[in-house]
Chains A and B, each alone.
Chain A
Amino acid sequence: MSSQPVPGPVGRPRGRRLPAIFRYEGWQGLIFIAPAVVLLGGLVAYPLVWTIVYSFGDTNSKLDIVRWVGLDNYERLFTKDKVFLDRDVFPPDGALVNNLKWGVLYTTFSLAFGLLIAILAARVRYESLVKAVIFVPMAIAATAIAIIWKLVYEPDPDLGVANAVATGVFNTDPIVFLGRADTVNYAIIFAYVWASTGFAMVVLSAALKGIPEEIIEAARTDGANEWNIFRRIQFPLLSLPMAVVTVWLTINVIKLFDVIYVMTRGGPGTSSEVIATQMYDETFLNGEGGYGAAIAVVMLLLILPLMAYNVSRFRTERVVT
C-alpha cells in the first residue's frame, strides 16, 4: 500500500482527560476498525471458509452435511455434469461455456458500442443528452431490465417490438427469441449489452477527454486525418481504461444471475444456464449444498485473478477522475 506515514500524537493532548489506556492510539485504532472486522470476519470470512469445506461434502435438503466426498463434487462438475460442461458435443456446451460466450460477446460489444458512442457524441453539441440516454439503463435493476426485454422479445408481433420489426420489415415468421436454444443466449446478451454500454461509454468518454488537446491539434497540423488521429493517438491512450472496463465487465459475467433468472430461469431446458444460476438451482432447488458450494468455489477462482488485476490497477493509476 502507498502507506503514507501517519503522524502519531503531536504534543500533549489537552481538553478532556481520558484514562491512559484510551489515550494509547493503538487501542483507538482497533476500536475504530472493530465493527468492520467483526462483521467481515463473521459474515464474509467465516462463511467463505465454510463454503470451501462444504464443497467437499454432500448435504441434505436442509443444507446440513451428511457425508464427506473429497473431490467428487469437483470431478462431477467438470466430467459428468452436462449442464455445467458438456464436452460430448462440438462445440462444447453448458453453463461454463455460456459464461465464456458471455465473456466474449457481452464484453466486446459493450466496449465497442461504448467507445463508438463516446467518440461520436464528442462531436456534437448535444453530447450530454446522448450520454444520459445511453447511461440511464445502468441505474435500472437487472430484474426490471429482464422485464423490459422480455416484452421486447415477445413472440407475438403485436406485443414484442423485436418481432414486429422482424415480421413487418424483414418478412420473417415470428421468432421465439427466448424459447429457442440457438437464440436465447444471444438475445439475453444483447439485452445486457444494452444495459452495460453506458458504463463503458462513461469511462471511455472521460478518458478521451483526458487526452491533451495539444497532441491532437499537433497531429492535425501535421496533416493527420480523423481516422489516423483515432488509430494512432486516441486508441493507444485508451488501452488502460479499456482494460479496466473489460475486467469489470468480465467480473460481471461471472457473477451474472438476476437477468437470466428472471428472463428464462436458465431455459429453455438448460440452454441459457450460467454458473451462478446453476449454483442457485443446485443449492436451493435441488438441496445439493455441497455441489452448489463447489460451483461457488469455481466462481471465486475465476474472479480472483481479475479482481487482483483491477485493485492493483486502481491503486497505481487513477483511470478516470
Chain B
Amino acid sequence: MSVAAETLARPRATPAERLSRFVARTPVHIALLAIAVVWLVPTAGLAITSIRPRDEIQATGWWTSFNDFAFTLHNYDLVLDNAQMGSSFVNSIIITVPSTLLPLTIGAMAAYAFSWIRFPFRDTIFLLIVALMVVPIQMALVPLLRLFRDLGLNDWYLGIWLAHTAFGLPLAVFLLRNFFITLPRDLIEAARVDGASNLRIFARVVLPLSVPALASYGIFQFLWVWNDLLMALVFISDSDLFPMTKRITEMQGTYGAEYHLLASGAFLLMIVPLIVFFALQRYFVQGLLAGSVK
C-alpha cells in the first residue's frame, strides 16, 4: 500500500534512491525471510522425510540429508500398496466428488428459487436454512448414524455423501443466493418475456453468469470434504472404504513413529489440495473468504 503511494509520489527514483530505500527496508526483508523460513520448514521436513530411506530417517535429521542425496520413492510404493493408501486415494475421490456436486446442484437450484421465484414463506424458509449453518456436525452424528444404519446406508458411501451434502447446503444456498440476486433483473425478465421457463432461465442464464461463485463454493466444499476426518471416522466403518484422512489416522495408531510411511502418506493426502490451490488460487481465496462464515 504505502509502497505504491510512495512510488506514485516519486515516479523517477534514481538508482541511488532506490538502493537507499531498499537498504532502509532491510529489517522488513529480514523479518519476512525469517517468517517464510518458519512457515516452510515444517512442510519441507515432511516432504524430505517422505523421500528418505527408513534407516536414514531414524539415524539423522532430515536437515542433514542435503549432504548425501540418497532419495528414494520406495516409501511411496510401500504406503500405496501395503498401507492401502492407493485404494484410499480412490476412496477419497469417490467420497468427495458427489459430496461436492450434489450440494452445488441442489444448493444452486434452491438459491435460484430464493432469488427469482415468488412463493409463499420464501424469505422465512431462506432464513431457516441460513440458520442451520450454526449446527455443528456433532449435533447430528448419532441420529444420522442410527438413521443410516436403519436404512442400510452405512455399508457404502451413500450415507456420507448425504451427510456432507446436507451440511454443505446452508452455506451453498446462502452464498449462491447472495450472488444470484446481484444479477441484473432486466436480464431475467427479458428471458421470462421470451417465454423461458424457470428451469431454462436457471440453466441457460443464471448458471453461466455465476461461474465464479459456483467455482468458489465448489472448491471450498471440495477441500472441506477431502480434508474431513470426523464424518469419515463415524460413517465409514469398512476398512476397504476408508478415505485417506481416516487411513492415515489409523496408520498413525498402528505404526507410531514410522515416519517413512506417515510422511509419504500425509504428503499424498496433501497433493490434491495443493494442486487445487496452485491451479485455482483466485477462486480458492475467494471461496475461503466467502466460506469464512461456515
A interface residues, Cβ below 8 angstroms from B: 1-4, 6-11, 13-16, 18, 25-30, 32-33, 35-37, 39-40, 42-48, 50-51, 54, 63, 113, 117, 120-124, 130, 132-144, 147-152, 154, 157-159, 161, 164, 191, 194, 199, 202-203, 206, 208-209, 211, 213, 216-217, 220, 226, 229, 244-245, 248, 254-255, 257-258, 261-262, 276, 279-280, 283-284, 289, 292-293, 295-297, 299-300, 303-304, 307-308, 310-311, 314, 319-320
Say how far B170's CB is from chain A's closest CB, in angstroms.
7
Q: List 17 A-B contacts (CB under 8 A).
A: A7-B189, A10-B193, A28-B117, A32-B113, A33-B113, A39-B166, A44-B167, A45-B132, A47-B143, A48-B132, A63-B142, A143-B269, A148-B45, A159-B57, A159-B61, A208-B1, A293-B142
Q: Which 5 A-B pairs have the closest CB atoms?
A: A29-B119, A141-B227, A32-B113, A47-B143, A43-B166
- Structural contact, B142 and A148, CB atoms closer than 8 A: no
Interface residue ranges, B against A (CB under 8 Å): 1-5, 8-9, 25, 28-29, 31-32, 35-36, 38-43, 45-46, 49, 57-63, 106-107, 109-110, 112-120, 122-123, 125-127, 129-130, 132-147, 162-163, 165-167, 169-170, 173-174, 181, 185, 188-189, 192-198, 202, 223, 226-227, 229-230, 233-234, 244-245, 248-249, 252, 257, 259, 262-263, 265-267, 269-270, 273-274, 276-277, 281, 284-285, 288-289, 292-293
Q: Assess the A296–B139 pair: CB atoms within 8 A.
A: yes
Is A137 a contact of B226 with CB atoms below 8 Å?
no
- The chain A residue with its CB closest to the CB of B134 is A307
Give Cα A159 to B165, complex, Å. 41
Q: Does A137 contact B39, Cβ atoms closer than 8 Å?
A: yes
Verify B42–A120 contact, CB threshold 8 A.
no
Query: A231 CA to B243 CA in the complex, in Å?
Result: 48
When distances are taken between beta carbons in the complex, the residues of chain A under 8 Å from B181 are: 2, 4
Q: Are the C-beta atoms of A147 and B276 separated by less than 8 Å?
A: no
Contact A147-B45, Cβ < 8 Å, known A40-B170, A124-B29? no
Q: Is the interface of A mostly helix, strand, loop or mixed?
A: helix
| Given A32-B117, A47-B143, A217-B9, A262 contacting B229 (CB threshold 8 A) | yes
Contact present for A28 and B198 (CB under 8 Å): yes
Which residues of B have CB within 8 Å of A203?
289, 292
Nearest CB in chain B: distance from A145 CB, A:
9
Chain B positions within 8 Å of A159 at CB level: 57-58, 61, 257, 259
B142 touches A292 (CB 8 A): yes
* CB of A126 to closest CB in B, whole Å: 8
With a cutoff of 8 Å between Cβ atoms, the chain B residues found around residue A35 in the complex are 106, 109-110
Find the B residue at minimum CB distance from A54. Answer: B142
Q: A122-B3, A141-B273 are in contact. Are A254 and B59 (CB under 8 A)?
A: no
Distance A217 CA – B106 CA, assembled complex (angstroms): 48
Q: A14-B195, A40-B169, A139-B276 are in contact. List 12 more A-B contacts (CB 8 A).
A: A25-B118, A29-B119, A36-B169, A43-B162, A44-B170, A50-B143, A140-B43, A143-B249, A151-B49, A202-B289, A216-B2, A216-B5
Cβ-defined contact, B129 with A40, below 8 A = yes
